[in-house]
Amino acid sequence: MSKELAKTYDPKGLEDRIYQKWLDNKYFHAEVNRDKKPFTIVMPPPNVTGQLHMGHALDETMQDILIRFKRMQGYEALWQPGTDHAAIATEVKVIEKLKEQGIDKNEIGREEFLKHAWEWKEEYGGKIINQLKKLGASADWDRERFTMDEGCSKAVQEVFIKLYEKGYIYKGSRIINWCPVCQTSISDAEVEHEDQDGFFWHINYPVAGEEGQFVEIATTRPETLLGDTAVAVNPEDERYKHLVGKMLKLPLTDREIPVIADEYVDKEFGTGCVKITPAHDPNDFEVGKRHNLEEINIMNDDATINELGGKYAGMDRYEARKAMVADLEAQGLLVKVVPHSHSVGTHDRCKTTVEPMIKPQWFVRMKEMGEAAIETLKNGELQFVPERFDKTYMHWLENIRDWCISRQLWWGHRIPAYYCDECGETVVAREMPEKCPKCGCTHLHQDEDTLDTWFSSALWPFSTLGWPEKTEEMEYFYPTDVLVTGYDIIFFWVIRMVFSGLEQTGKTPFHHVLIHGLVRDSQGRKMSKSLGNGIDPLEVIDKYGADALRLTLMTGNAPGNDMRFYWERIEASRNFANKVWNASRFIMMNLEKADIPKNIDLQTLTGADKWILSKVNTLAKEVTENLDKYELGIAVQKVYDFIWEEFCDWYIEMVKPRLYNDEDTTKAAALWTLKTVLSNALKLLHPYMPFITEEIYCTLCPEEESIMISAWPEFTEEWDFAADEEAVETIKEAVRGIRNVRTGMNVPPSKKAKVFVVSEEAAVREIFESGKVFFATLGYASEVFVQADKEGIAEDAVSAVIGNAVIYMPFAELVDIEKEIERLKKEEEKLEKELARVNGMLNNERFISKAPESKVQEEREKLERYTNMMEQVKERLAQLQ
């Protein structure tokens, strides 16, 4: 081997170099290839304004693991990347930048503003992509897309027009969520509900023409009283039946409003009388429609009271609340104020309390498309991992409202609707008509609004593959295989992609949705700017390497569950990388000293070789099954445990005597096994730790181009050595027994002693005879004697009892006899407890009759084993005492 590994593992020195090699060789690039099966993942497009955070790092690592695994399995694996234009977030950033330069968005106008926005995108837009590359993301960067590139924009326009022509998109005045700070409508999914401490203000509304008669209502938003157009009671409520149809004087105004009966009112809640403000509450809006009530909007876009508010006009909503409550009190109409914690909707971007308002907006009708999205889950075409998220998905779809898709922003896809300046006719078209189809006027103007960002990202799985054109990619790579996303985004995005995919392509856009949790801090808190507890993945990569970060994010990871981030775990992952590196260096240094056959007769392998080969063989099978079931955390734990314990701590130690002995005829077999098992273990680790595995593998197997395109290990019958596995496990049990005894007596490893293995079973004796060389090394033995009885063993020998043998060590000169007696007494106590437990179970009729036969048999075997061990312990005690 000409190339060798550096003395110490330094991720900084190798990660960028390796990534560049992968890019140069186009290993990430996928092509339509009819000879292979496709496997496709579309990357949830990070915001173009974005910066890599831990949530991204987890999400992208999981996708990268799956794509690398499938690529090695021989699939044509496409990981389709791209970024999202993030309308609100980007517009805010651009406005801030212009402000710093003393420029007002409204003064420069739309065209000029958009020039600045595109410049901003060019300058900062690539940042998160470069950060993903630092993480090792093997996405097909040659195919990178942007939600506002020409192709995606064409898809957006196409879908809008198709849905409009079908009657699924309409413009109407309905209640929407309005953000007074961002000055735009936002969808239900962008409203975060949080419990806030507030109050119930109880207010008396006088009954018109009936002196001293009042109706008492309770409200959490007294300022909306200005827009009340009725008070509603339940038709079954005996207390108020006599009032239905009467008029009330609306406090602080000169208006009168009716009392109406509607089943929406809960008799048990509050006073049983509810003020109805159709222009400022979604439920009241529905009541208003049923009773033909007037809709009075009393707010401006910045949440100040408008000219309909009389003396309160111009006041901020909360300022007006204070003034109105004071006036109600002065007029004797304020009954009481009761503290009340209630759910308040805030804009997830800027955290402002949203204001429900009636405004003319564009909506998508959800009934039919929502039903199709429900059906695809029910018939199994769409599956969530874990399955419990089916409920979340169904709940949201069963309660879905029409989706408000217009946004009062300039950055985004402008709505392709044109209005005639003369007659007001609306035309939805691919470009501005030359004249109005209704009146012939040639003066038209385009709708000022843009589409909700989620409208374009809903098309992402197919717009990125060239739809609406009939491209080869679309035909080959769609529908995609799995979508990986956090549980906080099911409604936002997953549902919209599902119904858009079904409506536009007739197919569910992905077969599986793999849901992961959030990465929380070590105290279990959500990472946030306000808490200042966010951890920058790039800082972790800079300090410990991308591989250590990736391994940490996947250790203990279970689908759908949150995980905590600990720096100690990053350290542990880095230590594991060092372990793999040092073990590989040790192996390679030995490989250089001898010729290893390319192929070997498996019968020339020793029991230890067959054991580790059999272990890595089973590991390949199990890890493949876990990855196919998306159990990424379970799979990596198995690989980690195998490499650290079985391979490094046991096998490498077992073979050292053979490597150091030039006379040993099994040396070539040991070297072949070391190289074979290491290369397979590296392949199984590769999806998780791509950089270190690439560096080691290409040094270990210089004839191979890259581990990335090497073949994934598969289970093979000829490497299945069950008997050898059992044999080595017996020896390991004996070694652990010896080590425990020596540790208990504080015997240093440097102190060698004779070891006697006593067993009546010839098969057990044969195991120790054939494994003598490495058993002696691992058991700190000066010599090993294997025999059927205790002949020739000193009276004062200490022992370790294993299932079917006893290990004796004549430690007379080392041992403190008293201590050994104490240790055996503890062992006796422990065995007494175990025997009492097993006997208790086996004497329990209910257990015998109800437990599975295998469980009962297992307990019987334990009884036999503990009884034998107890006999030997008692005998040993008798000797010493």
- pLDDT tens, residue by residue, 614-659: 999 999 999 999 999 999 999 999 999 999 999 999 999 999 999 9
Domain boundary among 356, 390, 405: 356
CB-count burial class (<10 Å; 0-12, 13-18, 19+) for 804: middle
pLDDT of 350:
81
Mean pLDDT within 358-363? 91
Would 649 be classed as within a structural domain?
yes
Phi, then psi, of 45 in degrees rounded to 5: -70, 115
Q: Pick from 300, 294, 306: which is nearest to 258 by CA? A: 294
pLDDT of 749:
85
Distances (CA, A) of 612 to 399, 635, 649, 719: 56, 18, 12, 10
pLDDT of 405:
94
Phi, then psi, of 710 in degrees rounded to 5: -80, 170
Would 773 be classed as within a structural domain?
no
Read out DSSP for 406-460?
EES-SSSPBP-EEEETTT--EEE-SS--SS-TTT--S-EEE-S-EE-HHHHHTTH
Omega within 30 of 0 (cis) for the link into 468: yes
* 8 A C-beta contact, residue 486 and residue 516: yes
- Interatomic CA distance for residues 45 and 145, integer angstroms: 9
Beta bridge partners of 404: 363
Domain that holds residue 640: 546-720
SS3 assignment, position 294: coil
Pairing of strands 230-233, 256-261: parallel
State the DSSP H helix or E strand holding residue 357, giving kind and residue range, or none if neither. strand 355-364
Would 630 be classed as within a structural domain?
yes
Looking at every residue in the chain, the average pLDDT score rounds to: 92
Domain boundary among 720, 736, 755: 720
- pLDDT tens, residue by residue, 411-464: 999 999 999 999 999 999 999 999 999 999 999 999 999 999 999 999 999 999
Numbered residues of the known binding site for ATP: 529
Q: Where are the alpha helices (DSSP H) in 537-566?
A: 537-544, 546-554
pLDDT of 123:
87
Q: What CATH number corresponds to the domain at position 579? A: 1.10.730.10
User: Cα 594 vs. chain centroid, distance in angstroms?
Assistant: 47
The tokens for 253 are 């105004």
pLDDT of 811:
66
Q: Which residues are within 8 A (CB) of 116 and not within 5 positions of it... i.e. 6 or more apart?
A: 94, 97, 98, 108
Mean pLDDT within 244-272? 92
Least confident of 60-64, 574-578, 845-849: 845-849
Query: Is 80 exceeded by the pLDDT of residue 876?
Result: no
Numbered residues of the known binding site: 529
CB-count burial class (<10 Å; 0-12, 13-18, 19+) for 432: exposed
- Interatomic CA distance for residues 290 and 273, integer angstroms: 17
Would 515 be classed as within a structural domain?
no
Mean pLDDT within 787-801? 87
- pLDDT tens, residue by residue, 705-732: 999 999 999 999 999 999 999 999 999 9
- pLDDT tens, residue by residue, 759-770: 999 999 999 998
Token match 């309390």: residue? 353
Distances (CA, A) of 747 to 735, 783, 815: 14, 17, 9
pLDDT of 757:
95
Omega within 30 of 0 (cis) for the link into 386: yes
pLDDT of 475:
97
Mean pLDDT within 495-502? 97
Q: What CATH number corresponds to the domain at position 200? A: 3.90.740.10
Q: Using a CB cutoff of 8 Å and minimum separation of 24, what contacts does 96-100 make? A: none
pLDDT of 535:
87
- Interatomic CA distance for residues 113 and 94, integer angstroms: 8
Would 492 be classed as within a structural domain?
no
pLDDT of 664:
86
pLDDT band at 1 (very low <50, low <70, confident <90, very high): very low
- Counting the structural domains of the chain, the total is 2
Would 169 be classed as within a structural domain?
no
Token match 């598969």: residue? 714
Token match 């300046």: residue? 421
Would 102 be classed as within a structural domain?
no
Its pTM stands at 0.83
- pLDDT tens, residue by residue, 16-68: 999 999 999 999 999 999 999 999 999 999 988 888 889 899 999 999 999 99
What is the phi-psi region of residue 758: left when phi exceeds 0, alpha when psi lies from -120 to 50, beta otherwise? Answer: beta
- Interatomic CA distance for residues 286 and 333, integer angstroms: 28
pLDDT of 581:
97
Domain boundary among 720, 736, 751: 720
Mean pLDDT within 80-86? 95
Percentage of the residues of the chain whose pLDDT score is greater than 90: 73
Distances (CA, A) of 151 to 146, 158, 475, 502: 9, 11, 17, 20
- Interatomic CA distance for residues 844 and 841, integer angstroms: 5
Would 266 be classed as within a structural domain?
yes
